[in-house]
Amino acid sequence: MAAVLPVESSERPVAGHARWVRLTHWILAASVLTLAFSGFEILMVHPRLYWGKTGNDLTPAILELPVSRNYRHGGWAPPVTFDRGSTPVVSAARTYDIFNQNSWGRSLHFLAAWFLLLAGLAYLAAGFLGGHVWRDLLPRPRELAPRVLWQDLAAHLRLPMRPAAGGPPYGVLQKLSYAVVVLLALPLMVVTGLAMSPAVTAAYPGLMDLFGGSQSARTIHFFAFAALMLFLLVHVAMVALSGFRRQLRAMTIGG
């Protein structure tokens, strides 16, 4: 997203962002990209989503994603009989070896999540204490008027797009999108990620119950990730259309 400037403001010097905003922005960006890569790799191992406390290949899924060979694979190994006359035990073992058996994707995902958490906490602490959140991210009630929203949307859809400011003040759509990402989507991804950790939920079982089970947390985690990726695509497109070099300079070396 980008705050579009009037034509007469297009030649103003780039103000840039505060140093702590630039630092946390790039740490968060690197963390999110690493989490997206490793998270998709984890999803490829088991591309099915469930709701509740349990879910596996032998239980119905609420959503199946055709993202790897594990989707509608070749079948299961034969049922196992432990002693004569007993009922065979259904096995969920696949008829071929799955990839990522050493779980490197989960290890990388967990490592990147700590960078995301620490950088996010630093951003929120500085943002709340310094007034950045109240001043720049949360829209004023008058900005939520339908006429104002429509004007800002029309400005973003009009091509060629006018140059954007290299930092605050932001437009109302930019404020809304940043506020949703910073105050809702990212915290939700962190909390649902913790709710899927057996070590965390063993110490704090109420966290898993908050979402109705680890499988529900996994499903919410996936949709929060999808929303974050959609924001990232729109964000990069808006930066490119509203002055890529100007915006990049403002977010790296400042004004």
pLDDT of residue 89: 64
* pLDDT tens track for 102-150: 578 888 999 999 999 999 999 999 999 988 888 888 999 898 899 999 9
Residue-by-residue DSSP string for 7-27: GGGTTSPP----HHHHHHHHH
Whether the predicted pLDDT of 170 surpasses 90? no
DSSP annotation of 90 reads P
- List of domains in the chain: 9-76+103-252 (1.20.950.20)
The secondary element (H helix, E strand) that includes residue 227 is helix 214-241
DSSP annotation of 74 reads S
d(CA 130, CA 226) in angstroms, rounded, equals: 31
d(CA 109, CA 166) in angstroms, rounded, equals: 32
Work out the pLDDT band at 158, boundaries 50, 70, 90: confident
Buried b (16+ CB within 10 A) or exposed e, 160-198: ebbbbbbbbebbbbbbbbbbebbeebbebbbbbbbbbbe
* pLDDT tens track for 65-114: 888 766 666 566 666 766 776 776 666 555 555 555 557 888 899 999 99
Whether the predicted pLDDT of 186 surpasses 50? yes
pLDDT of residue 17: 79
* pLDDT tens track for 10-64: 334 445 678 888 899 999 999 999 999 999 888 888 888 999 988 887 788 899 8
pLDDT of residue 157: 82
